[in-house]
A and B are shown apart, each in its own frame.
Chain A
Amino acid sequence: MSTGKYLRVNGTEYQIPGQWLGRRLLDYLRHELRLVSVKEGCGEGDCGACTVFVDAEPMCACLLLCGVVAGRNIITVEGLPQDFRQRFAQLCEKHGGLQCGYCTPGFTMMSAWLSGGGTETGKDPLDKLLAGNICRCSVYQQLKKVVAELT
């Protein structure tokens, strides 16, 4: 439910300026809050670079309007626990889990979700759960090792 005019991002409440209610969450996070971990790859739900948590579930910030997520809890990479981010970075280094790094924030969010027990039916293959994140450098196999060691 969100009739409100507030967005809760990484634990802080922000009043959404009226002109932002009908604009994308992705742009609000990047332009207004300068949370530039949230990337725009495709802008239409295909690539997962813009993945954020809305009430602990991953969603694409490029397909959400600010007014639609008002009052809900938004988490970006900047809001993930420091120790998780460190561990994720270490494992990426160990397994070669990134090249250009553009997809990394999206994969970081999905890894955080998975390591917190994220699932749909309780017996989904990893490929299915990560299918919404595209890596143009194609480090999928390495990222799977990272996730396997995290979870």
Chain B
Amino acid sequence: MGSQVSIIRPSYLPEIELFRPSSIDGVFECIKDGARVLAGGTDLLPWASQHGQPRKMVWIGNVEPLHGFSVDDERLQIGACVTQGELIRCADFRRAAPAVADSVQFVGSVQLRNQATLLGNVCSASPAGDTLPALLVHEAQVEITGAPGQERQVSLDDFLLAPGKTMLAPGELASGVSFCGLRANEMSAYRRHTERRALDLAVASVAARLVFEADGYTVAGARVALGAVGPTALVAIEAAKSLVGHPLTGETKSICAAIAAETCKPISDFRASADYRRQLVKVLVEDVIGEIEQRARIFKPNGEGR
């Protein structure tokens, strides 16, 4: 009927050649053929819009075995297609891995969390990726499938190489991630600082997981990890060590915070200067430990606080 004036601006996303295999073997065939893995697409599609490529994608959502996730007290196993929304809604997950649950709730928005996968956040390997410090303190292992039948497990710390770079070789798929759940007398938490409260990437972030002695006060073991203050999320070994064997006091917390701030490797960019990031790390380490203390009150023999 004549020429219709389009009021709709054209999409900048190029037309994607989309493959939707229903088996892992099918996924490998497509990867070999040059297709990029598409999970939730919340990182990959904006990237493709900005760069005009990749044009070929293989969506893994049709592969049933990648949708599984299990939470038992000792270990959590999360398949590549499990979305962040699914995880947050699971009370067992929130109880077993509080730091990871905290971190997932900072990612994007309700809408994005319903689309984005946990493993997509890991494979994007952004220095500011929210789930990474939290997964590090829960000792995450990434399951890599190289070809049908060839599987290996890599610690997340080794998996993350540089901004946007992981140990995944061309043709490899991350099929899942597994990590420790809280055991008796343990607690974890994650905190970040952003300029806007939501839909913004962390300027700095901190996760920690502490094990307490039976007295509920003395720290028996500690893990601390930092985000957005280095090329990848960092494990702060020395900072964590400084807590072990001591009760949590203002002094032990600030020593731990100072060591973390010293050992991180921030850069200056449009979000913040390196100095400001170091200051933030100090504040966030104390905040996170404070939060863990709050949450852990329940362990204390006299039930103080609850």
Contact = CB atoms under 8 A, between A and B. Distances in A.
A44 B46 contact: yes
Contact of B114 (A46, A59, A65, A128): A59
Interface string B1-37: 0000000110111011110101000000000000000
B302 interface: no
B150 interface: no
Given A3-B62, A63-B45, A24 B11 contact: yes
Contact of B115 (A26, A63, A131): A63
Interface in A1-56: 1-3, 19, 21-24, 26-27, 30-31, 40, 43-46, 48, 51, 54
A134 to B, nearest CB: 8
B62 A129 contact: no
A149 interface: no
A137 interface: no
Contact of B9 (A1, A2, A40, A129): A40
B41 interface: yes
A90 to B, nearest CB: 25
B88 A60 contact: no
B153 interface: no
Nearest to B197: A131
A64 interface: yes
A128 B85 CA distance: 13
Contact of B110 (A22, A30, A132): A132
Interface string A126-147: 0111011110000000000000
A36 to B, nearest CB: 8
A40 B7 CA distance: 12
Size category, A interface: 35 or more
Contacts of B111: 45, 48, 51, 58-60, 132
Contacts of B85: 57, 120
A91 interface: no
B49 A68 contact: no
A82 interface: no
Contacts, number: 115
A67 B114 contact: no
B22 A3 contact: yes
A41 to B, nearest CB: 11
Contacts of A67: 18, 20, 59
A60 B112 contact: yes
A131 B18 contact: no
A132 B112 contact: yes
B94 A121 contact: yes
Contacts of A129: 110
Contacts of A51: 111
B11 A65 contact: no
Nearest to B46: A44
B89 interface: yes
A102 B143 CA distance: 44
B15 A23 contact: yes
B15 A19 contact: yes
B105 interface: yes
B42 A45 contact: yes
Interface in B42-59: 42, 45-46, 49, 57, 59
Contact of B8 (A1, A30, A44, A127): A30
Interface of B: 8-9, 11-13, 15-18, 20, 22, 38, 40-42, 45-46, 49, 57, 59, 61-62, 64, 85, 88-89, 91, 94, 105, 108-115, 197-199
Given A44-B49, A58-B111, A59-B114, 16 more contacts: A3-B62, A22-B57, A24-B11, A43-B11, A44-B46, A54-B114, A57-B85, A63-B42, A63-B115, A120-B85, A120-B89, A121-B91, A121-B105, A131-B110, A132-B110, A132-B111
22 contacts: A1-B22, A1-B61, A2-B20, A2-B62, A22-B16, A23-B16, A27-B8, A40-B9, A43-B13, A57-B114, A60-B111, A63-B40, A63-B112, A68-B41, A68-B59, A68-B61, A120-B89, A121-B94, A121-B105, A128-B110, A132-B108, A132-B110
Top 4 nearest A-B pairs (CB, nearest first) are: A132-B109, A131-B198, A22-B16, A22-B18
